Amino acid sequence: MGYFCLNLFYKPAILKKIITVSLMLAFCVFISPAKAQTADKSATPLTKKLFKNLKDALSRGILFGHQDDLAYGVGWKYEEGRSDVKEVTGEYPGIYGWELSGLEDNDSLNIDGVPFSKMIQYIRQGYERGGVITASWHLDNPVTGKNAWDTTHGGVAACLPGGTQHTKYKAWLDNVAKFSQSLKGANGELIPVLFRPFHELTGNWFWWTKNTNTPEEFKALWRFTFDYLSKEKKVHNFIYVYNTANFSNQAQFLERYPGDEYVDMVSFDAYQYGDPLKDNRFVNEVSRQLNILDTIAKAHNKIPALGETGYEAIPYAQWWTKTLWKTIAEHPLSYVLLWRNYGKQENGNWHYYVPFKGQVSEKDFKEFHSMERVFFEKKTKQLNLYR
Ligand code: BMA
């Protein structure tokens, strides 16, 4: 050993190499943050890449998303290539939201009339533009057969192993699995999806929200869903997004959190109500919640996102820069997704969340679009999220 050490002093090149390697090792062990992995350890290579790249992209900017963007907008439906976002800004969003309700009953259309066959094509188009795909699921109440908003209690327990609706629930998951496995790119590769089931779980308006079940029941349902899809059905293109509605503190956000090994992303939904010129509630409340989300995401090594947001019919012309941007600008967020542009509802109310040409907030939306840290199609593509 003595000879070896002595010899090294006469060979500066070897010594330099040893010092460099030791420093690199020390960096890996002590300095770099714990490596984040997908909850599904068998996720496809592409899904793992997307997860890692979304995490890295947090320091770069926020992806802008829109629900049903390619399917319809205000005053049009199923016109190839159209998008209200594109008509105003010149480009598509960075992330596309789609809704799976209807799959559970083998319907050919989803709850909002979007044919699943078209949805598959739109998902492929968005992915091929380098965009990200996310899916929500307003699944029916398994006990009553009524829709997701039927808050008859007992649905969560009924879906669990041994529960009265367990077999039915598994059949619903089979359909979700089949759908996810039909999402393929040009070379037959599975398209990764940010799957956001049981959303707004701290609310009181769905059969799975907190008013209808205990935290233990909810966690069991989430874990069963994850295990069944990933292990039994071999769905390996899902990134799992935990999503709440309103919450006041970390404890409330995490009350029904199923555990780090079942979740990839943490998020919440928050909408603007009332007049932002008269009260600052949205800015104050959502900023406060984003601070909590930042802390949780860091502590649990997860990716934070604003799952859904918007101001219905956007009556305030500067909502984009003076309210939304003001609220989110300082936060590390993966994406922010605006809800759907349905148009005029049967009751006469307008239901849309991004401007179309001529809408009062069009100019301000363009300004928001030009922000350096806001990523629509082009900047998202440059992130090379699938490489
Ligand atoms: C809601 C509304 C409904 C729609 C549902 C599922 O927020 O937009 O009209 O059916 O989402 O997409």
Distance (Å) from CA 36 to ligand 1 centroid: 33
Per residue in 301-349, pLDDT (tens digit) is 999 999 999 999 999 999 999 999 999 999 999 999 999 999 999 999 9
Question: Which residue, by CA, sits nearest to atom 8 of ligand 1?
Answer: 340
Counting every residue written for the chain, the total comes to 387
The closest-lying atom of ligand 1 relative to the alpha carbon of residue 111 is 10
- Dihedrals phi, psi of 343, to nearest 5 degrees: 110, -145
Å from CA of 277 to ligand 1 middle: 26
pLDDT digits (tens, 9 = 90+) for 12-31: 555 455 444 444 444 434 44
Q: What residues contact 98, with CB distance under 8 A and at least 6 apart?
A: 67, 68, 110, 114, 119, 122, 123, 133, 134, 135, 136
Distance 24 CA to ligand 1 centre (A): 51
State which ligand 1 atom lies nearest to the alpha carbon of 345: 9
For ligand 1, what atom is nearest to the CA of residue 340?
8
User: To test the ligand 1 pocket, which listed residue (103, 107, 112) has its Cβ within 8 A of the most ligand atoms?
Assistant: 112
Ligand 1 centre distance from Cα of residue 189 (Å): 30
Cα 247 to ligand 1 centre (Å): 22
Residue nearest to atom 4 of ligand 1 (CA): 112
Q: Best substitution site from 104, 111, 309 to test ligand 1's pocket, by max atoms within 8 Å of Cβ?
A: 111
Secondary structure string (H, E, C) spanning the chain: CHHHHHHHHCCHHHHHHHHHHHHHHHHHHHHCCCCCCCCCCCCCHHHHHHHHHHHHHCCCCEEEEEECCCCEECCEECCCCCCHHHHHHCCCCCEEEEECCCHHHCCCECCCCCEHHHHHHHHHHHHHCCCEEEEECCCCCCCCCCCCCCCCCCHHHHHCCCCCCHHHHHHHHHHHHHHHCCCECCCCCECCEEEECCCCCCCCCCCCCHHHCCHHHHHHHHHHHHHHHHHHCCCCCEEEEEEECCCCCHHHHHCCCCCHHHCCEEEEEEECCCCCCCCCHHHHHHHHHHHHHHHHHHHHCCEEEEEEEECCCCCCCCHHHHHHHHHHCCCCCCEEEECCCCEECCCCCEECCCCCCCCCCHHHHHHHHCCCCEECHHHHHHCCCCC
* Ligand 1 environment, Cβ below 6 A: 99, 111-112, 138, 339-340
Q: How far is CA 278 from CA 174, 275, 304, 355, in A?
A: 48, 5, 29, 22
Report if pTM > 0.75: yes
Q: Which residue's C-alpha comes closest to atom 3 of ligand 1?
A: 112
Residue boundaries of the structural domains of the chain: 1-32, 37-382
Would you say 194 and 133 are in contact if contact means Cβ atoms under 8 Å apart? Answer: yes
The rounded distance, in Å, linking the Cα atoms of 290 and 326 is 12
**pLDDT in single tens digits along all 387 residues of the chain:** 333 333 444 455 554 554 444 444 444 344 444 578 999 999 999 999 999 999 999 999 999 999 999 999 999 999 999 999 999 999 999 999 999 999 999 999 999 999 999 999 999 999 999 999 999 999 999 999 999 999 999 999 999 999 999 999 999 999 999 999 999 999 999 999 999 999 999 999 999 999 999 999 999 999 999 999 999 999 999 999 999 999 999 999 999 999 999 999 999 999 999 999 999 999 999 999 999 999 999 999 999 999 999 999 999 999 999 999 999 999 999 999 999 999 999 999 999 999 999 999 999 999 999 999 999 999 999 999 999
**Which structure tokens are listed for 311?**
């101001």
Q: Is domain 37-382 annotated with CATH 3.10.20.30?
A: no
